[in-house]
Structure formats: structure tokens, C-alpha cells
Amino acid sequence: MNITKMLKVLLTVITIMLITTACSNNTKKDILIEIGKDPYQVKTYRAYMKNLVKEIENNQPDYKHLPLTVKDDFDWFYIQTYSVWEKSTSKKQFIQNGLQRYPEYSESLEYLADQLIK
């Protein structure tokens, strides 16, 4: 094999590797975007939630955090809190949904709901 062919093969392999790496870095997607929510609204919601977390950390020392440990827990949490925040789910329904999953966290769910319906 001559040097030109070897360089072409090497360049092809490097290009494929770069494309594969770029694609794999983009595989982590926001669950809210995946289910069709407006990206601008999701960004606004995420900023709101970031501020809410800060408020809880700074001013709610007795707040009992929901035990979100795996991706399914976080996806459930984001979908549920987003639906209350955008007012497509009522406070009552959010709490009922939450109690089915986290029966010992009624105060936390109530607090979250109150903050999300403001």
C-alpha cells in the first residue's frame, strides 16, 4: 500500500472517530425537550428551579429532599414539577402523584407545589 492510500485511510478513520465522539457528546438530552416542551420555556423553568433550590438550601433547613437517585426519579420529578409550573397539572394532582411515589414526603410535596404555582 502506498503512502497516499495509507494517509487517506488514516484520515477517514480519524474523521469517523471525530464524528462518533461529537455525536456521543450530544446524547444527553433534557427529558422535557424529548417530550416536546418548548426549549425557551424549559430554560425559564430550569432557571426558576435553580433559584428554588437555592431558596430551599438557604431558608428551609427542615425541608426533606425527595430521594431522587436514578435517572427515572429525576425524569419523573422534572416532568411533574414542570407540569405544575406551567399550570397543566393542579397542586392537588401534583401532590397526589407525588404521594404515590414518595408517601412519606407530603410536606415536601406541598411546599414544592406552593412554590411552583406562584
- Percent of all residues in the chain with a pLDDT value above 90, rounded to a whole number: 72
Cα four-point dihedral sign 82, 86, 90, 92: positive
**DSSP state for residue 36 in the 8-state scheme:** T
- What pTM value is reported for the model? 0.74
CA angle in degrees (0–180, nearest 5) for 47-49-50: 65
- Cell 404555582, located at residue: 117
Chain segment 4-38, per-residue pLDDT in tens: 665 555 455 454 544 444 444 444 689 999 999 99
Domain extent listing, the chain: 30-116
Which are the contacts of 66, defined by CB distance < 8 A and separation ≥ 6? 73, 77, 98, 102, 105, 108, 109
pLDDT in tens, 29-68: 899 999 999 999 999 999 999 999 999 999 999 999 999 9
pLDDT in tens, 75-92: 999 999 999 999 999 999
How many H-runs (helices) and E-runs (strands) does the chain carry? 6, 0
Contact 19, 26 (CB under 8 A): no
